[in-house]
Amino acid sequence: MFHKEGFTIIIISFALVVITALVVDHFVALKWLKNLLQISLLVVLVLVLQFFRNPSRPPLMYSAAVVSPVDGKVVIVKEVHEPEYFNGPRLQVSIFMSPLNVHVTRYPVTGEVVFSKYHPGKYLVAWHPKSSTLNERTTIVVKNPKFGEVLYRQIAGAVARRIVNYAKVGDKAIQGTDAGFIKFGSRVDVFLPIGTDILVAEGQKVKGGIDLIAEKFAN
């Protein structure tokens, strides 16, 4: 199953690979070189297909937990000052996605989308500390009955050149469902209220819509 954001690229890539393979077969005489080029073309096609894969993951619907919005590796877990929306302290969990990860962005909690804003910017490597405020990015805030307002930020990386965000103010966000896509390497930051119990550590690998990254117990 592939994400709809990849349909055009997949079709174009398939056509180019087929045409190039036919040209190679017709004009390249050396058998070893012909085989090498055709295998290389097949590898390129497989990489494009795996990048846009969209595995089916039914929503978890955990009211007292935050689900990872993306697949990837946790690179930051710390208390920070969030300047754009809260202008105050929050707990930040950042997840880096390599080009080999699934790049679907999923809603971390259920609630109402109360803020959604796109920012043009630079294309620093996604793990750079300043990428959260300097890179091309979108900021989305979902108001949840248990956690209050949860902010997540899609950040373009050095290779990514397009962020797709489906969240619009007033939308109903359903935890674990499709909220967007980032093409070719990126990062997502999640900002949670102080006092939230973080369930992940730096260096840990997580899967979007499956692994829990935080929870909040009743006082």
Q: How far is CA 121 from the centre of its chain?
A: 17
Q: Which amino acid is at 80?
A: V
- Closest to 189 measured CA to CA, from 74, 85, 95: 95
186 is catalytic: yes
User: From the candidates 13, 68, 132, 186, which is the catalytic residue?
Assistant: 186
CB neighbour class for 68 (10 Å; exposed up to 12, middle 13-18, buried from 19): buried
Q: What is the CA radius of gyration of the chain?
A: 20
Give, in degrees to the nearest 5, the angle at Cα 87 between 85 and 92: 80
183's tokens: 């093409």
CA distance 188 to 75: 10
Q: What positions carry a catalytic annotation?
A: 186
